[in-house]
Chain A
Amino acid sequence: MQYRVGVFALVLLLSLFSVVALPQDPDPLVVITSPDVVQQSLSPNALRAIFGMRLRSWPSGKPIQVFVLNETNPVHIQFCKQVLNIFPHQLRSSWDRQVYSGTGQAPREVESMEEMLAQVAATPGAIGYSERSRIDDSVRVLPIQ
């Protein structure tokens, strides 16, 4: 009996530890736009084309303004890998190839998550990304499907 209690306690302890040791489920990332963007959703391909700086206008004809964090920012890295499904260095190479051959432009880089939200909220046609917990009514969430 004592043995079984011991095992039970151990299992309980281990499971407790495993809960504690598990990394905190990260705040999911969402694609955000300025309030004037009327688009209801985006396909993964269109999203990648936008952040790859190849798709430059919304279906309404309005120019798209892309905002990103610095390539070393963990949120940017997570966005590239989990949402765009490409490595940050691939995305950077794709911008460089366009910028230095004159065939395209670079996205606008912001310093912090606060600046990202402020810029996306204030710039017509803007698109960016954020942790879900940080957003408020000043920006729209754009579902990807």
Chain B
Amino acid sequence: MTASVCCLSNNTPGRLARCALSVFLAGLLGLIGTRAQAWPEGVQLHGFASQGFLLTSDNNFFGGTDGDGSFGFGELGLNGSWQISPDLLLSLQVLSRRAGETDDGDLRMDYGFLDYSFISDADNRWGIRLGRIMNPLGLYNDTRDVAFTRPSILLPQSIYFDVNRNLALSADGVQLYGERRTDWGDFFLQLGYVYPRVDDPDFERSIFFGDALGDLESDPSWIGRLTYERDGGRFRFMVSGAQVNVGYDPGGPIDPFQAGKFRFQPLILSAQYNAERWSFTTEYAPRPVSLYSFGPFLPDTDFTGQSYYLQGTYKFAPRWEGLLRYDVLYWDTDDRDGSKFAELTGLPAHSRFSKDWTVGLRWDVTPSFMLRAEFHYIDGTGWLSELENPGRLDTDRYWNLFAILASFRF
């Protein structure tokens, strides 16, 4: 039944993906129905479910959180993988995510790809992946939906924006990967040629500061990451980069905008040190953005954003962890306080930056059940959703966010 409903959906861009998804889900349910012994050798199923409660002193984040708080944030995911042979792996993850106005809980495919490794020995592994692949960006993007793998309820928003999450999360295409293990550390390389996902409800608004008549189209893009790990992950260093290209298909003769291009070229430098009880993490990202050929109503623009955070965690008792983080975002390094932007547009200057102090607490009740709480003190509204805070007109510069989350996985 799921399959027929999804395939009849009018939402063309995601239609094929949805059909594949439904077939997979139906197959999965069939598998769950049969006895475990009947599964093909090498099949694994994993899943996760999270429910959050968010409360803000001002401004909305993941729902109507201002004042009363909201249970509008939840994640439910299921993944299956089939190691067909040591060299061939098939993987798929489906997700339903609710995040206020920015995500409605519709089923989506996070990733679904075939992984073939053509060289594999004690020191090397090389291969390709084909399909929808998680974007290798920074330390946390690959598994950002899974609360257990995040350092906090909300990832540092300066780098891991939740408003344009699908764009950042995964993309359709091909990826070459390599691993090299040496006595002085392990190297990992991933290089992808992909079509980005442009299905975020907030994405169009973040380009045009409102609705547009036409549609965004994904253009060929590049993404890559080089990782160096020492002592099995005690030290981790990464350089990630991407050139994300998105085009615009104007909505007929009355559309004020022409067939323009949006280009986003983030570079992320990451470093992490993991000791037995504490860990220290930092990431820094210059983010050049350019918009061009949209015509007279949206002149060509170029600006460079900047993001960084410093984060420490400490396991002060078995199964308990504390977190402290300072996270900074500037949309335009030539206008850090947003004053030029405010003069030009009449919109609030504080929508052009965010400085977020976070303290958090994690309690792993069992290895598969976790409770979390965190408090944010934030100066600026730079990473708020346009959908939830239209025009930023009703927003306050200084605000607090409190969140709790329960999460289960298997």
Interface residues of A (CB under 8 A from B): 43, 45-46, 48-49, 52, 54-57, 59, 61, 63-64, 70-72, 84-87, 89-91, 93-94, 96-97, 99-106
Query: Is the beta-carbon distance between A102 and B120 smaller than 8 angstroms?
Result: no
Query: Is the beta-carbon distance between A100 and B86 smaller than 8 angstroms?
Result: no
Chain B residue contacts of A56, Cβ below 8 A: 83, 86-87, 120
* B-side interface residues, number (CB < 8 Å): 43
Q: How far apart sit A24 and B144, CA to CA, in the bound complex (Å)? A: 44
Known interface pairs A87-B276, A101-B134. Does A71 touch B232 (Cβ–Cβ under 8 Å)?
no
Q: Which of B66-74, B145-153, B378-386 interfaces with chain A?
A: B145-153
Other A-B pairs beyond A63-B42, A63-B86, 11, CB < 8 Å: A46-B122, A57-B87, A87-B274, A97-B143, A100-B142, A100-B149, A101-B111, A102-B79, A102-B92, A102-B111, A102-B133
Shortest Cβ gap from B191 to chain A (Å):
14
Shortest Cβ gap from A102 to chain B (Å):
3
10 contacts between A and B (CB under 8 A): A55-B120, A70-B367, A85-B232, A94-B232, A99-B79, A100-B48, A100-B79, A100-B145, A102-B134, A105-B42
> Across the A-B interface, how many residue pairs have beta carbons closer than 8 Å?
107
Query: Is the beta-carbon distance between B367 and A71 smaller than 8 angstroms?
Result: yes
Query: Is the beta-carbon distance between B85 and A63 smaller than 8 angstroms?
Result: yes
Known interface pairs A96-B148, A97-B149. Does A48 touch B232 (Cβ–Cβ under 8 Å)?
yes
B125 within 8 A of A: yes
Chain B residue contacts of A61, Cβ below 8 A: 86
Chain B residue contacts of A72, Cβ below 8 A: 367
Most chain B beta-carbon contacts within 10 A, residue among A45, A54, A55, A102: A102
Shortest Cβ gap from B284 to chain A (Å):
21
Chain B residue contacts of A101, Cβ below 8 A: 111, 134, 142-143
B123 within 8 A of A: yes
Closest to B315 in A: A89
* SS class, residues of chain B in contact with chain A: strand
Chain A residue contacts of B183, Cβ below 8 A: 45
The proximity string for B residues 151-189 relative to A, scoring 1 for CB distances below 8 Å and 0 otherwise, is 000000000000000000000000000010111000000
B46 within 8 A of A: yes
Query: Is the beta-carbon distance between B367 and A96 smaller than 8 angstroms?
Result: no
Q: How far apart sit A55 and B142, CA to CA, in the bound complex (Å)? A: 20
Known interface pairs A45-B122, A49-B181. Does A102 touch B232 (Cβ–Cβ under 8 Å)?
no
Q: How far apart sit A86 and B129, CA to CA, in the bound complex (Å)? A: 29
Which 7 A-B residue pairs are closest in the complex by CB-CB distance? Answer: A102-B91, A86-B232, A57-B86, A101-B142, A100-B143, A46-B122, A56-B86
Query: Is the beta-carbon distance between B120 and A85 smaller than 8 angstroms?
Result: no
B113 within 8 A of A: yes
Closest to B181 in A: A45
Closest to B179 in A: A54
Chain B residue contacts of A89, Cβ below 8 A: 274
Shortest Cβ gap from A74 to chain B (Å):
12
Query: Is the beta-carbon distance between A103 and B232 smaller than 8 angstroms?
Result: no
Q: How far apart sit A84 and B182, CA to CA, in the bound complex (Å)? A: 15
Q: How far apart sit A105 and B81, CA to CA, in the bound complex (Å)? A: 7
Q: How far apart sit A93 and B146, CA to CA, in the bound complex (Å)? A: 12
B255 within 8 A of A: no
Known interface pairs A100-B46, A106-B44. Does A94 touch B233 (Cβ–Cβ under 8 Å)?
yes
Shortest Cβ gap from A123 to chain B (Å):
11
The proximity string for B residues 82-115 relative to A, scoring 1 for CB distances below 8 Å and 0 otherwise, is 0101110101110000000000000000011101
Known interface pairs A63-B85, A94-B232. Does A105 touch B122 (Cβ–Cβ under 8 Å)?
no
Q: How far apart sit A52 and B179, CA to CA, in the bound complex (Å)? A: 13
Most chain B beta-carbon contacts within 10 A, residue among A43, A64, A103, A105: A103
B340 within 8 A of A: no
Query: Is the beta-carbon distance between B231 and A86 smaller than 8 angstroms?
Result: yes
Chain B residue contacts of A91, Cβ below 8 A: 232
Query: Is the beta-carbon distance between B83 and A63 smaller than 8 angstroms?
Result: yes
Shortest Cβ gap from B126 to chain A (Å):
12
Chain A residue contacts of B122, Cβ below 8 A: 43, 45-46, 49, 55, 59
Chain A residue contacts of B231, Cβ below 8 A: 85-86
Shortest Cβ gap from A141 to chain B (Å):
19
Query: Is the beta-carbon distance between B233 and A86 smaller than 8 angstroms?
Result: yes
Chain A residue contacts of B343, Cβ below 8 A: none
B394 within 8 A of A: no
Chain B residue contacts of A104, Cβ below 8 A: 81, 89
Q: How far apart sit A49 and B93, CA to CA, in the bound complex (Å)? A: 25
Query: Is the beta-carbon distance between B146 and A96 smaller than 8 angstroms?
Result: yes
Q: How far apart sit A118 and B274, CA to CA, in the bound complex (Å)? A: 35
The proximity string for B residues 134-145 relative to A, scoring 1 for CB distances below 8 Å and 0 otherwise, is 100000001101
Q: How far apart sit A71 and B92, CA to CA, in the bound complex (Å)? A: 26
Chain A residue contacts of B81, Cβ below 8 A: 99, 102, 104-105
Q: How far apart sit A9 and B258, CA to CA, in the bound complex (Å)? A: 98
Chain B residue contacts of A97, Cβ below 8 A: 142-143, 149
**Set A55, A86, A96: member contacting B149, Cβ < 8 A:** A96
